[in-house]
Amino acid sequence: MSKLTFPNNFVWGAATASYQIEGAWDEDGKGESIWDRFTHTPGNIADGSSGDVACDHYHRWPEDIELMQSLDLQAYRFSIAWPRILPRGRGQVNQAGLDFYSRLVDGLLEAGITPFPTLYHWDLPQDLQDEGGWPARSTAEAFVEYADVVTRHLGDRVKHWITHNEPWVIAFLGHQIGEHAPGWQDWPAAIKASHHLLLSHGWAAPVIRDNSPGCEVGITLNFTLTFPASSSPADVDTARFFDGYMNRWFLDPLYGRRYPADMVADYAAQGHLPAEGLAFIQPNDWEAITAPTDFLGVNYYTRVVLSAESRPQDQLEPASQATGLERTEMGWEVFPEGLYNLLNRLHFDYQPPKLFITENGASYSDGPDDAGNIDDQRRLDYLRQHFTAAHRAIQNGVPLAGYFVWSLLDNFEWAKGYVQRFGVVWVDYETLERTPKASALWYKDVIARNGLAND
């Protein structure tokens, strides 16, 4: 029996996001967010649900900290709801919102759990949306104001900050595919949104550092590796295009390479650029976007296998070819090798000083048996295989510093509603009772031994 041990000081945690767990959507002075508006508009969410109540974490956070403590989690990645802090997006500060996160941070620290907040996990104040949202440069300015307010209040205690979660999803799933809030199908708007997200990250990073001495700042990107279904030039080109669209479009500018030339050419040829081309980019933007960061957050779930036919005429989402490999209930192929490939690629191609896996996990709806136990063996297997892949990458020299399982709790899975369950802890949505699944108890053991028994 061999054993895989992770480096000393490796951080084991779990992640959530404000809109997916908090509920209390209009309490204590919180403003409306684009996700409130989107879910309250019929037809947008598969099961017609919303995050109005979600896991009620806003009221149950002390219990959730106890839960994390019972699992020996070392760190907790959560997000801060911008409209709780600045209900109109900018200007007037809502002290009750700051107090909520301040109490949460204090509670975590008392429990010995390191807070890793994300400033933006998609719940933009609706008022900013009404002024143009992320396609407007003024939203990037408002983000800096918001980041300043939050980090001035929490920066003494929080020492790990993530600016944005998954700019691809915000920009393209939200503005081009339209499956997420604000639900647009507008390529030029999506491209502008992506730029303003990166810009706001770069502008905020030095502000966060000033307010939070000695802190580490990073951004979280989602990665989907794209494999060609065959070696035909058309399939290879399709994989190149979608790699540019999902991965390089964000990585390249952050690491000083500006937008990938092949993608700018493709977008221009396909008529996707704004009428003025890239004139919305100002000369100093590049320097801002490349603001030094301390780590890159990596969200990894799956890969896609693409042929020329998987590129739909209307350029919406690419469809992954059947490979025969297992898929989770999201329809996402289980491909742990991709995590190993990805971590190596990020390290050898872009050299971030350090990496954290800020999300990795699987949707399986296994629920309680007659005795109340939840045997989510498939999630446990998924995590074990991905931990093993991460360990191999570390052996290869990748400076991976921690791992956050998605998710601590079953929660509101955006456009899919509550049907998809990613939690290592089961949530009964009738009673809101939490029950650790087998995967959570196994994870506790992984944390205790700082690795895998490999048995």
Question: Which residues within the stretch 67-126 sit at the binding site for ligand FCB (CB under 6 A)?
Answer: none
Going 231 to 237 to 242 to 248, the CA torsion angle's sign is positive
Task: Give the count of residues interacting with ligand FCB (CB under 6 A).
Answer: 12
User: Which of 376, 390, 389 is CA-nearest to residue 425?
Assistant: 376
Determine if 343 is a binding residue for ligand FCB (CB under 6 A).
no
Going 231 to 234 to 237 to 243, the CA torsion angle's sign is negative
User: Which of 33, 152, 52 is CA-nearest to residue 102?
Assistant: 152
Residue among 20 and 74 whose Cβ is closer to ligand FCB: 20
CB of 166 to ligand FCB, least distance (A): 5
Contacting range for ligand FCB; rule: CB under 6 A; set: 85-93, 152-160, 161-169, 270-278: 161-169
Contacting range for ligand FCB; rule: CB under 6 A; set: 60-68, 87-95, 107-115, 164-172: 164-172
Contacting range for ligand FCB; rule: CB under 6 A; set: 51-59, 306-314, 365-373, 406-414: 406-414
Q: Whole-angstrom Cα distance, residue 84 to residue 30?
A: 4
Query: Any bridge partners for residue 298, and if so which?
Result: 221, 357
User: Which of 239, 223, 227 is CA-nearest to residue 308?
Assistant: 239
CB of 413 to ligand FCB, least distance (A): 5
Residue among 136 and 405 whose Cβ is closer to ligand FCB: 405
Determine if 169 is a binding residue for ligand FCB (CB under 6 A).
yes
> Which residues participate in catalysis according to the annotation?
166, 359
Residue among 166 and 235 whose Cβ is closer to ligand FCB: 166
Question: Which residues within the stretch 221-240 sit at the binding site for ligand FCB (CB under 6 A)?
Answer: 222
Determine if 166 is a binding residue for ligand FCB (CB under 6 A).
yes
CB of 87 to ligand FCB, least distance (A): 23
CB of 17 to ligand FCB, least distance (A): 5
End-to-end Cα, the chain, rounded Å: 6
Determine if 422 is a binding residue for ligand FCB (CB under 6 A).
yes
DSSP letters for 4-68? EEPPTT-EEEEE--HHHH---TT-TTPPPBHHHHHHTSTTSSTTS--SSSTT-HHHHHHHHHHHH
Which of 36, 285, 333, 413 touches ligand FCB (CB under 6 A)?
A: 413
Q: Whole-angstrom Cα distance, residue 311 to residue 332?
A: 18
Query: Any bridge partners for residue 295, and if so which?
Result: 218
Task: Check if the beta carbon of residue 218 is closer than 8 Å to that of residue 158.
Answer: no
Residue among 352 and 361 whose Cβ is closer to ligand FCB: 361
User: Which CA distances in Å does 156 have to 9, 103, 421?
Assistant: 22, 13, 35
What are the start-end ranges of the H helices in 79-232? 82-85, 95-110, 126-130, 137-154, 167-168, 187-211
Q: Whole-angstrom Cα distance, residue 225 to residue 305?
A: 9
Q: Which residue's beta carbon is nearest to the bound ligand FCB? A: 17
CB of 20 to ligand FCB, least distance (A): 6
Residue among 212 and 299 whose Cβ is closer to ligand FCB: 299
CB of 34 to ligand FCB, least distance (A): 15
> Can you read off the two tokens belonging to residue 37?
């508006």
Determine if 246 is a binding residue for ligand FCB (CB under 6 A).
no
Query: Any bridge partners for residue 297, and if so which?
Result: 220, 356
Element (H, E) at 117: strand 114-120
CB of 361 to ligand FCB, least distance (A): 7
Which of 39, 139, 165, 238 touches ligand FCB (CB under 6 A)?
A: 165
Question: Which residues within the stretch 8-27 sit at the binding site for ligand FCB (CB under 6 A)?
Answer: 17, 20
Site of interaction with ligand FCB (CB under 6 A): 17, 20, 165-166, 169, 222, 299, 359, 406, 413-414, 422
